[in-house]
């Protein structure tokens, strides 16, 4: 009984932590739908080959989105014409790096770690994208897929109306764009991802209770063994690139090698168990395996290379743990959680456009 209660508590904490970032990602997907031309997305990130992968890998590096927040944004890009390989690359480079995490790395870590972080994020994203091109299977055009296959059936009538509106080819007002973006974010994105997201939250609670707290003790020091431990430890954790930086700095101060800390900085933000079911929904089995394998192999290889670089330079990693840490108000966490559940209920039960969207009246 206590075990079940602890799972519920840990899953609840995970949901409160993840909800604001998932909500940001959902809203970003609506913004992208509203104001970015699908034709531009198709030209920039669509098509086969390496070029879209390179562009997606670079585009994700400065964006401050975590592994949960990036999924709805990437799903939106995918449905607007981005290739599956480019989407895979975007899903890796975005949570592993960001302008906020780079700034915090500069504040808490040394210049070598600060520079290494976005470089390794690009390499891992590029590797996964290229492997996806050659081994990910047949590309499917998400723009031409039928909506009932990817969205809840209760919203089918709404989607048909929305598609007809988009096909009219006329210029749309800002209100029209915002309304369509909100529809897309709530029904197409959140309605499609919510079930897998909630499943992942429950799984993360189980792992958080089942994994002993002393698991990280064996990670002290360097070598491939400690890096593998850091890799495994990072998978069940929900931690974004920014909030992982103070923890990595503390680990370095306690004796973890910079390479092992780098593995944690890469694997932690990009692979949390709550996101894996949703990633499977977006990428499919083959590309999910490529995604996870690329992160694991590139992270460990980069960690070994980084330790060798420090040894070659004859220097040690420097870390300063100050007062900087990522803190969200409980009101934001609880408010985001309630809003996510409300939007999920709307996406599941509403056969007509709810009053929320009638605030943005149709033209004509």
**Mean pLDDT (whole number) for 126-150:** 68
**Which residues have C-beta within 8 Å of that of residue 208, sequence separation ≥ 6?**
7, 10, 11, 14, 236
Residue 153: pLDDT over 70: no
The dihedral formed by the CA atoms of 303, 309, 311 and 314, expressed in degrees to the nearest 10: -140
DSSP class of residue 220 equals -
**Chain centroid to CA 70:** 3
Q: Please give the pLDDT value at position 355.
A: 52
Least confident stretch, 17-21, 71-75, 140-144, 286-290: 140-144
Residue 119: pLDDT over 90: yes
Backbone angles phi, psi at 137, to 5 degrees: 95, -175
Question: Angle at the Cα of 305 (from 91 to 103), degrees rounded to 5?
Answer: 55
Taking the CB of residue 153, how many other CB atoms lie within 10 A of it?
10
What are the distances in angstroms from CA 233 to CA 4, 87, 175? 22, 25, 45
Cα separation of 286 and 84, whole Å? 11
Q: Give 157's Cβ-side CA count (13 Å radius).
A: 8
The residue among 95, 76, 39, 276 whose CA lies nearest residue 186 is 76
Mean pLDDT of all residues belonging to the chain: 76
Cα separation of 285 and 295, whole Å? 16
**Predicted TM-score (pTM) of this structure:** 0.66
Residue 70: pLDDT over 50: yes
Higher pLDDT, 42 or 52: 52
Residue 337: pLDDT over 80: yes
pLDDT in tens, 319-331: 554 433 445 678 8
How many residues comprise the chain?
Answer: 364
**Chain centroid to CA 131:** 19
Cα separation of 344 and 245, whole Å? 32
Residue 84: pLDDT over 70: yes
Residue 162 pLDDT class (50, 70, 90 cuts): very low
Q: Please give the pLDDT value at position 301.
A: 95
pLDDT in tens, 194-213: 876 787 678 767 867 876 65
**Mean pLDDT (whole number) for 162-171:** 46
**Chain centroid to CA 305:** 26
């Amino acid at each position: 009984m206590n075990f079940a209660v602890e799972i519920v508590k840990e899953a609840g904490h995970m949901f409160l932590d993840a909800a604001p970032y998932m909500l940001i990602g959902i809203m970003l997907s609506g913004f992208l739908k509203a104001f970015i031309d699908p034709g531009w997305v198709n030209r920039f990130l669509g098509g086969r080959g390496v070029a879209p992968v390179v562009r997606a890998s670079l585009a994700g590096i400065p964006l401050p989105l975590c592994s949960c927040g990036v999924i709805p944004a990437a799903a939106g890009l995918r449905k607007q014409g981005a290739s599956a390989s480019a989407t895979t690359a975007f899903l890796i480079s975005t949570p592993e790096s960001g302008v906020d995490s780079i700034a915090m790395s500069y504040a808490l870590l040394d210049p070598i770690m600060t520079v290494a972080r976005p470089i390794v994020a690009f390499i891992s994203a590029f590797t996964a994208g290229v492997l996806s091109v050659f081994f990910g299977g047949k590309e499917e055009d998400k723009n031409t897929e039928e909506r009932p296959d990817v969205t809840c059936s209760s919203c089918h009538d709404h989607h048909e109306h929305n598609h007809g509106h988009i096909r009219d080819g006329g210029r749309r007002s800002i209100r029209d764009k915002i309304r369509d973006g909100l529809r897309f974010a709530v029904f197409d994105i959140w309605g499609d991802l919510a079930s897998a997201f909630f499943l992942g939250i429950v799984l993360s609670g189980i792992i958080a209770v089942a994994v002993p707290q002393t698991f990280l003790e064996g990670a002290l020091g360097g070598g491939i063994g400690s890096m593998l431990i850091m890799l495994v430890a990072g998978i069940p954790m929900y931690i974004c690139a920014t909030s992982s930086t103070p923890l990595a700095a503390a680990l370095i101060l306690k004796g973890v090698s910079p390479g092992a800390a780098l593995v944690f900085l890469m694997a932690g933000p990009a692979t949390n168990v709550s996101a894996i079911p949703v990633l499977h929904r977006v990428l499919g089995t083959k590309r999910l395996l490529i995604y996870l394998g690329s992160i694991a192999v590139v992270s460990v290889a980069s960690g070994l290379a980084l330790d060798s670089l420090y040894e070659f330079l004859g220097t040690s990693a420097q870390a300063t743990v100050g007062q900087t840490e990522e803190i969200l108000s409980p009101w934001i966490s609880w408010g985001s959680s309630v809003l996510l559940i409300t939007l999920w209920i709307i996406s599941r039960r509403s056969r007509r456009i709810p009053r929320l969207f009638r605030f943005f009246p149709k033209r004509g």
